[in-house]
Structure 1
């Protein structure tokens, strides 16, 4: 009986202690959160208790805790203190991963950025941290800044002749990071396409959906900026004069390497070297190895360079049919639309619309349609007023382009303004007596536009 009572006492006592611990953890977490929100550096003191006594109590310890340590870094008065708390933040990221595995926070990547953002450590230390994160936690390597820093350090080492970095490594890393940027952009644009489709259907977005759409647009602008910066860094290393002999030298060794052929063809095309015979040789080898969507697209470019337009379109259509990724499919349709824009406006618009059908956020397709309409004023309309009214329709498509793709909003706005400036003036609208009336374009355009009210 005494033994049973003793065991019961121990169990009850354990529950009592556990309840006390839970209560203390809850209180300290609440106090830390409040301090963080008020930008009070005392948040760190509560975090210290939580790290010691409640490391796996709740995941919010790590979101608020990150902010608490960053406050200490921000308020540090000496370089030594700044580094002390920065290094502590890196340790804290490891604790987060230990106590909440698979948290998706990208902590390995963040460790490299802590050093970079605070001007600490060496380039090698930062690079090694980012390299490890990219290789072991690829899915959560999501920050555009991390991608840029990772690439920039490698390029600096190449230019300085450090660590035996070769040009092929630069190209490979650029391709790897470009692919990651595309993946992150696709994830965002696919989500945005859902909102755009709702709006096109006449549905009103909820407030939270509007905010999320704005956040997506902001992130897409950041990714576009990083992509542009990376392109500028590598531009001097990848001119046709340098690329063609470089890939010519490696072709025989790699003609059975599908990944090498894809990347070589992509870079030659991106840098405008696709008229060189080497591009044809690489593209044909790629298609022979595997007649994939990408290989078919490259052969379409080859045939277009050879002025075999019909054959080029066959390859492009094959590529579009094979692509499962909507962004890549839309890219091919847009390429076809651009080619047809020089000779067949109806077909050009058809393919631009196909691009928009699979990718509603593909703003460039709207701009192409605007260009087609803006160049058609002499094809439509019964008099000069109606002919120039076409500019209003072109401007509307520019507006759609900017709304669909924030990265081209500036260009779209500028182009729309130029079209509206070329449309009938207020005086001409008044003299025509057509204010508020709808003008139908009974030509290949087959659309209509309302004359602005005065």
Structure 2
């Protein structure tokens, strides 16, 4: 009899479980169809019921629950009603993480933005959520808007003088958030560069790859905006007049702290304070303590400021060799191209600019730099006035490439190309010279050919 009872209970439990599963399936199907058709008034009661009786049944409850509640937030008639639905949406995000942990949807960030975007709660509540998320789940803190908001609230707290935040705290916060922004931008840039290499090899991108490429570009622009906005926010706080005495005061205490030295040198360089002896002092101490690509770069800049280009080139090349980050490697090579060689040795300058592009194909400003080198060589190349002016076509072509690999440079690239084209031979010149559709090769340092436009 005991065995029969156990079997009966097991069968009954299984029966009830199957019925519950069937009920949840039916209710979810109805809810999803209503939400898909944007019939949110009818979808909402179905969502409430699903969250009550089947909260762990399927991720679709939360995927479609978010826009459902968002509809009521957007259409709230009063401030109290709006806050009610914002808080409900925050609860939805919490449940999503509770029943489907590691979903990677950034729900904590969404909670903070829901409060901020709808002017609900306090700034301190928003900051607490962002701060906790950054410290406990930094890997998934990838929303550009949230990163900027996190920094802005902190700086505002410093400026208000009510949060007991010191200037060093602001610098530290800037550093950790800026590093996160760079980290996310690098992931996107590396992925984009792989697709650019495929294009450069003459292979067409698939539809999916083109969509990915466009997404990478859009997100890179967003992170660039964050970086620019953060720099603007801290600009008044981090002037050379303030930074130099600030770091000078702390140097003796911190000279054994490689991370402090690294960040101090980085900030002095970014704020164009690298001509001050303190920058050289910090750079040399850092390189002796922990030689890295970054410390070698700082020493290169220091020697450049001292007019010792030989030593500067030595350390900058060392930095490029040590650098593992393609974007930073490209920037080092570009620094050599633009500052060490510039227009004094155009061939070497182009060579280093091309090294920058080899490291990072989307490093568009290298193309703009090479285009300028070509345009500045009009009187050095070509044997006739027509050929000399034809160099501008090559400059224009090169400049436009900058906008093709980096959409944020497109306006600048198009403007530069248009300027070069205006200096090139006119249609009348092409006709009079009989050069339409012909090739011109420049035997000077350029060593490249250009096709004359057909009439």
Q: Determine if the alignment matches structure 1 residue 269 to structure 2 residue 250.
A: no
Q: Determine if the alignment matches structure 1 residue 73 to structure 2 residue 73.
A: yes
Q: Determine if the alignment matches structure 1 residue 101 to structure 2 residue 95.
A: no
Structure 1, residues 283-336: CA drift from partner, whole Å, max 9, x if none?
111111111111111000011111111111111111111111111111111111
Partner of 2:10: 11
Partner of 2:443: 442
**How far 1:3 moved relative to its partner?**
4.9
Q: Determine if the alignment matches structure 1 residue 411 to structure 2 residue 412.
A: yes
Partner of 2:316: 316
Correspondence 1:59-208 to 2 at 5 A: 59-208=59-208
Residues of 2 paired with 1:233 and 1:79: CA distance?
A: 31
**How far 1:393 moved relative to its partner?**
1.0
| SS of 2:302 mapped into structure 1 | helix
Partner of 1:374: 375
**How far 1:17 moved relative to its partner?**
2.9
Residues of 2 paired with 1:293 and 1:406: CA distance?
A: 29
**How far 1:6 moved relative to its partner?**
4.5
Gaps of 5+ in 2: none
Partner of 1:214: 214
| SS of 1:439 mapped into structure 2 | strand
**How far 1:7 moved relative to its partner?**
4.0
Residues of 1 paired with 2:107 and 2:231: CA distance?
A: 27
| SS of 2:450 mapped into structure 1 | strand
Partner of 1:237: 237
- Asked if structure 2 preserves the Cα contact closer than 8 Å seen for 1:39 and 1:71, the reply is no
Structure 1, residues 216-239: CA drift from partner, whole Å, max 9, x if none?
111111111121111111111111
- Asked if structure 1 preserves the Cα contact closer than 8 Å seen for 2:343 and 2:373, the reply is no
**How far 1:56 moved relative to its partner?**
2.0
| SS of 1:11 mapped into structure 2 | helix
Residues of 2 paired with 1:294 and 1:254: CA distance?
A: 18
Residues of 2 paired with 1:449 and 1:34: CA distance?
A: 59
| SS of 2:237 mapped into structure 1 | coil
Residues of 1 paired with 2:93 and 2:420: CA distance?
A: 53
Partner of 2:35: 36
Residues of 2 paired with 1:275 and 1:149: CA distance?
A: 33
Normalised to the residue count of structure 1, the TM-score between the two structures is 0.96
**How far 1:24 moved relative to its partner?**
2.8
Partner of 1:400: 401
**How far 1:63 moved relative to its partner?**
1.9
| SS of 1:279 mapped into structure 2 | helix
Evaluate the alpha carbon distance shift between residue 426 and residue 27 of structure 1 in structure 2; reply closer, same or farther with a 3 A threshold. Answer: farther
Residues of 1 paired with 2:19 and 2:446: CA distance?
A: 75
Partner of 2:51: 51
- Asked if structure 2 preserves the Cα contact closer than 8 Å seen for 1:148 and 1:230, the reply is yes
Residues of 2 paired with 1:449 and 1:56: CA distance?
A: 65
| SS of 1:102 mapped into structure 2 | coil
Normalised to the residue count of structure 2, the TM-score between the two structures is 0.96
CA-atom RMSD, angstroms?
1.5
**How far 1:157 moved relative to its partner?**
1.3
**How far 1:15 moved relative to its partner?**
3.1
Partner of 2:292: 292
**How far 1:30 moved relative to its partner?**
3.0
- Asked if structure 2 preserves the Cα contact closer than 8 Å seen for 1:334 and 1:351, the reply is yes
Residues of 1 paired with 2:29 and 2:218: CA distance?
A: 31
Evaluate the alpha carbon distance shift between residue 164 and residue 7 of structure 1 in structure 2; reply closer, same or farther with a 3 A threshold. Answer: same
| SS of 1:205 mapped into structure 2 | coil
Gaps of 5+ in 1: none
Evaluate the alpha carbon distance shift between residue 23 and residue 396 of structure 1 in structure 2; reply closer, same or farther with a 3 A threshold. Answer: farther
- Asked if structure 2 preserves the Cα contact closer than 8 Å seen for 1:108 and 1:132, the reply is no
Residues of 2 paired with 1:433 and 1:39: CA distance?
A: 65
Partner of 2:332: 332
Residues of 2 paired with 1:419 and 1:19: CA distance?
A: 74
| SS of 1:148 mapped into structure 2 | helix
Residues of 1 paired with 2:287 and 2:122: CA distance?
A: 44
- Asked if structure 2 preserves the Cα contact closer than 8 Å seen for 1:44 and 1:72, the reply is no
